[in-house]
Structure 1
Amino acid sequence: MQTKKFVFVVMGVSGTGKTTVGKLLAEKLDLPFFDGDDFHPESNIEKMSVGIPLNDQDREGWLRALNQLAMDHKLSGAVIACSALKESYRVILRNQMGILMRFIFLDGSFDLIKRRMEQRKGHFMPLELLQSQFDTLEIPENAISVSVDQTVEKIVSEILMKIQ
């Protein structure tokens, strides 16, 4: 199986390390990396910055933009970091991608992620929204699941083993 033909979506709640893991994974696979947060409209960022969780309507345009990004890289492959918390969100992301999109679920406990977020600086997602992320999360059934309770290098090594 040639991994370059896939668009990998590194997913999970805020604070699981999607960007850090995604960047290293993209580097190892020689694929471009895109942070889904960079595609949020300003209105979403403003809402989250003041502690208001996004609703499905807020997320829809953002998810469609990420689906278009995936479609643009359908033949060449890419790594995209995106929370993709609900199955309905993953359906939008996967539209017209089928088996060419693979989800990588970064799994961690609330307490572990909370500790990580308390140490994080300069991110628009406030710690107060973490519980809403866990409340929204629908654990994916057909994803590569990896525990984040290990080093980034070990996480990426485990992902690489599972996608080969």
Structure 2
Amino acid sequence: MSGYVVMGVSGAGKSTVGELFAQRMGLSYLDGDSLHPQSNIDKMSRGQPLTDADRWPWINAVAARLAGEVDVVACSALKRAYRDRMREVAGAVTFLFLDGAREVLEERMGHRKGHFMPEKMLDSQLATLERPGPDESVVRVDIDRPPEEIVDELVARVRAD
């Protein structure tokens, strides 16, 4: 069985879609944000982008959980190197890439309540994003619709493979 990483920039809907996807597929779920050390949360809350040095311990923690405890993880997985590390640790991983226009992302971020990532961080997220390549196991979906429709498409495409 393959693990799944619901990936994308902040505001893409990773947590919502990831949880719904896991429920529909009968799989366990973890929000990768819960594994961030407090220092990362504090830094992002101040509007400071994370560096690779900040992200690597978090990526390793996500990969370890995906390797043994959970089936679906919501995690930005912005860089190819991060995704490669997850595959190295967890084996077969399919990335469910929630992709969308900047305007949609900004609107979604503006409606979130109680999240540590401020809207002004979107630019750094988009600048860091290395879109998955054709050689990666990835299912890309557009986020410009309700989460339930996104999950319907993801489930259909995953089951078709």
TM-score tier by shorter-chain length is: over 0.9
Unaligned runs of 5+ in 1: none
Correspondence 1:91 to 2:87: no
Correspondence 1:51 to 2:47: yes
Unaligned runs of 5+ in 2: none
Partner Cα distance (2:46, 2:87) in 1: 30
Match of 2:141 in 1: 146
TM-score by length of 1: 0.92
Match of 2:129 in 1: 137
Partner Cα distance (2:47, 2:67) in 1: 32
Aligned length: 156
Q: Considering only aligned residues, what root-mean-square deviation do their CA atoms show, in Å? A: 1.0
1:8-53, Cα deviation, whole Å (9 max, x unpaired): 0000000010000000000011111100000001110010010000
> After TM superposition, which residue ranges in structure 1, 4 or more long, deviate above 6 angstroms?
none
Percent identical residues: 46
Match of 1:16 in 2: 12
Partner Cα distance (1:83, 1:156) in 2: 17
Correspondence 1:41 to 2:37: yes
Partner Cα distance (2:130, 2:40) in 1: 21
Of 16, 26, 31 in structure 2, the residue corresponding to residue 30 of structure 1 is 26
AA aligned to 1:159 is L
Partner Cα distance (2:156, 2:113) in 1: 32
Q: Is the 8 A contact 2:64 2:90 kept in 1?
A: no
Match of 1:113 in 2: 105
